[in-house]
Amino acid sequence: MKITKKHVFSLLVILILAVGALSIASAYTGTGFTHSIPSSKYQDVTASDILSKYNNTDCNVEETATCTEVVDGDTIYLSNGKKVRLVGVNTPERGVEGYITSKVFVQKLCLNKQIGLDIDDSKPTDKYGRTLAVVIVDGKNLNEMLLKEGLAEIMYIPPSEFYPYNWADSSTHISSSHQTSTNANTDSGSGDSGNYIGNSNSGKFHKSTCKWGQKTAEHNRVYFNNRNEAISQGYVPCKVCNP
């Protein structure tokens, strides 16, 4: 077949359409986090069944309002006009596997109910004007429940009052999309407790921002305020994060 100008033109059009479609698709997926928990898991479960599995949070209810709409697993609207982004967590975006289940879970616990907010004192709103907060339902931390149920991944963006790794267990998925902003803050805030995570099983210790430190199982974790404290207790620095 002879290649004509027309062929070249149609190829170009196809290429441009393909690139366009790809960029739209990637805009939808966010960090790309998905999970495969079916929404049927929560079909015959009541809100009180779920709430009874969890301990009361030590977060403070700073204000209360009624949840009027659940956008997705990590974003809700309130009767006071606020749009709330659940801090420290990330759920599947619309059109991605797991989106429905995470949304159904939040609807079950929040929709048309009075909820409490503990707003992030370090960063009260994000760049879209959404209030960053822990949502409190009957004294329980919804952000934490989403992580423990496997319906959300950890998305820790410092500065933040909250440290979502404390809410998760060792199987929790960790967002990889904010590692750079996390690393950029490694050197700030020295003297805060929990700057270093030791693994009592491996004998190694990590910066709190190291993904290997974050993957340490809760029951193996030891927290250190500073490097010397870890060394003096016989812990060896991780070769990846060089604490």
Site membership for Zn ion, residue 184 (CB under 5 A): no
| Helical packing angle, 142-149 and 99-110, nearest 10° | 140
Nearest residue (CB) to Zn ion, 135 versus 238: 238
Shortest Å distance, C-beta 78 to Zn ion: 39
Shortest Å distance, C-beta 239 to Zn ion: 8
Shortest Å distance, C-beta 207 to Zn ion: 6
Peptide bond just before 159 cis, omega within 30 deg: yes
Specify burial of residue 224 (Cβ count, 10 A radius: 0-12, 13-18, 19+): buried
Which region among 51-59, 66-74, 210-218, 223-231 touches Zn ion (by CB under 5 A)?
210-218
Show the tokens assigned to 116. Answer: 């409490």
Shortest Å distance, C-beta 193 to Zn ion: 18
Return the residue matching tokens 């048309």.
112
Taking CB under 5 A as the criterion, which residues in 188-207 touch Zn ion? Answer: 206
Distance CA(173)–CA(31), nearest Å, equals: 12
Which region among 91-99, 166-174, 224-232, 233-241 touches Zn ion (by CB under 5 A)?
233-241
Site membership for Zn ion, residue 210 (CB under 5 A): yes
Q: Would you say 73 and 152 are in contact if contact means Cβ atoms under 8 Å apart?
A: yes
Nearest residue (CB) to Zn ion, 131 versus 208: 208
Q: Would you say 224 and 231 are in contact if contact means Cβ atoms under 8 Å apart?
A: no
Q: How many residues bind Zn ion (CB under 5 A)?
A: 6
Contacting residues toward Zn ion, per CB under 5 A:
206, 210, 212, 238, 240-241
